[in-house]
Structure 1
Amino acid sequence: MKVNFRIEGIPALYKLMKKRKKLDFVFNGNTLRDLVNGLVSKFGPSVKTILLDKKDEVDIEYRVAVNMIKHLPYGERMDEVLNEGDVVHIMTVG
């Protein structure tokens, strides 16, 4: 599946992604968990350290939005089903 992945306010991830704030990203699967696993495969285990907490959830310090319409709540977002062409935005809260 291919989504448009965007980050905002996460400098460590920005550096790992070769100073890109957005990219079209192809990965196997269709959930946010699959997307994160794809990012780990491409950019290394530091992605996991930066984005995930001890429960392997996208950390509560980050807001996750799909198409800037749907904000995914903490504790439920990893299994959120994504669609081809979605814009997945991960940003700092605040």
Structure 2
Amino acid sequence: MLPEDVILVEDYCLKYQIEHAFVFSLEEYGLIELVVVEAQKCIPLHQMQAIEKFSNLYYDLNINLDGIDAISHLLQKIEVMQDEIRLLKSKLSLYTIPV
């Protein structure tokens, strides 16, 4: 019996009508992590949002895996920069006089 925090790749692909190879390719590119439970590849629930985002890019917008990899990398850089901006704003607010 599978733990509650994973779903079989086969079940996910059947439910959302996507190719198994696509999910395995996402893993090969390092975009998601799959786990093996009872000799079967499974998707951890915390990876579901990423898979849905990537499948929308792939199937709806016809972006290939190299493009998805580039987009993911750029989005991660943006998140890091936004965090840095928030930190700098909070530091700057210590030195500003309220009006």
TM range (shorter): under 0.3
- TM-score (normalised: structure 1): 0.26
Higher relative contact order, chain-length normalized (CA < 8 Å, sep 6+): 1
Structure index of larger Rg: 2
